[in-house]
Amino acid sequence: MGVSEKTSKIPSIVAALCIGIYIAAIGFGAVRIIASIGDRKKSAENEFYDLADRASSSAVFLGFMSEAYKETIRDFLGNSGTLLGIIITGSNGEYAFERYPGSGIVWAGEFPRLKTGAGFPSEPFHLPLRVEGQRNVNIQAVYSYIDYDIFLGVLRDTLVAVLAALTIALLTLIIEMSRKKRASYYQPEVHAAGEPKPEQVPASEPIGTDDIFLPEESDEPSPFGDVSFEEKTSPDTDSPENKCPQGLYTDRGNVGWESYTRERLNSELHRCASSEQDLTLLVIGFKEDGRISDALYSQFTDEAVACFAMRDLIFENGENGLTVIIPRSDLEHGIAKAEEFRSRIIAALPETFEERIGLCIGLSSRSGRLIEAERLMLEATTALKKAITDPVSPVIAFKSDLEKYREFISQK
């Protein structure tokens, strides 16, 4: 497994770890809250039974509903950790007690009622009292089943865990973005021997299967534009097509100038390398020599724009050819697009292109390599030369050889 493949799994591992932290924090918090509710109900029930005993015994010594009796009930309620409201019902009416105003009692006219709803149990505690001289004496109490101190503590702990996971995810994202940014400025690392590369899979016509390896230098000039490794910092002023480009597109084909191809291809290669995407380059030409008419070339380029839908990534190439950049595309997809374009041309202009001119296409792909524009153009142009001389396959794809590419990079 290559280094880039290992590092590309790090974000997935960190994402899984963060999701695990989220689930664990929420689950642990829910368990703590549920356990707290159960413990609080037991405490409230014990306090209510103690209150009932206190209310019965105090009635004997202090007198039922005397001021001293009422003060005893208020003191018990004030010291309770769970009870919020109490109603004692006797033959003389109903008496209500609250820990603080509005905490446990609501009034229906002159009659008190226990406050139930959100934060309270649906059935308050209820017991009869034995009071001498009184009949049908009952005591009721309501409690809060949420311990807000524990609840806030659980929320705080959960928030800390979530923030920690978010911090880890953010740091991983920053590191990954920095790594990808640095990768676009360095020479490619050679993949391990035997690692598979994308290969062409022909759809309708047989495509050359011989391995193509480009020499470091070639003395044979390309009939479809110079793609040698010589440095070019300005357009070739000796070529009529490249002389003083005006605007983004040419007058003849309404596509990009040939002199802009290398610069744009380098830009797209660096962008695809930074996002670990593939890129395919197509070089299109004809078997017959000679310059075709401007009207015919304009029809040809219009079909290319309609097929590839990227006018700013299509460039003139020599007298009659085209160069097409297809980002986010591997070699197999590039072959399919090349076949689609040939079929489109033959269907749209059958008399011209099917009978008189043989349309050929050579292509090459980045295939995970950090490769420069000159190299990729040389590969695709060499594939086109082979397609022009091949009597069977009009579409030839360059298949990179790992060992030979390693030798080529080391010699450079």
pLDDT for 155 equals 85
Q: 183-197, 259-273, 343-357 — which is least confidently predicted?
A: 183-197
Q: What distance in Å separates the CA atoms of residue 359 and residue 341, rounded to the nearest whole number? A: 10
Does residue 266 register a pLDDT over 80? yes
Q: What distance in Å separates the CA atoms of residue 125 and residue 139, rounded to the nearest whole number? A: 8
Does residue 80 register a pLDDT over 70? yes
Rounded to the nearest 10°, the torsion over CA 241, 245, 247, 248 is 60
Chain segment 88-131, per-residue pLDDT in tens: 887 777 888 888 777 778 887 778 888 776 655 556 787 888 78
β-bridge mates for residue 363, sequence order: 282, 397
Rounded to the nearest 10°, the torsion over CA 74, 76, 79, 85 is -60
* C-alpha gyration radius of the chain: 42
Average pLDDT, stretch 210-216?
41
Residues 250 and 241 sit within 8 Å (Cβ to Cβ): yes
Does residue 191 register a pLDDT over 60? no
Instruction: Please give the model's pTM, rounded to 2 decimal places.
Output: 0.43
Q: Which of 394, 373, 92, 83 is nearest to 230 (CA)?
A: 373
Does residue 70 register a pLDDT over 70? yes
Measured distance between the N- and C-terminal CA atoms of the chain, rounded to whole angstroms: 26
Chain segment 295-332, per-residue pLDDT in tens: 888 999 999 999 998 899 999 998 889 999 999 999 99
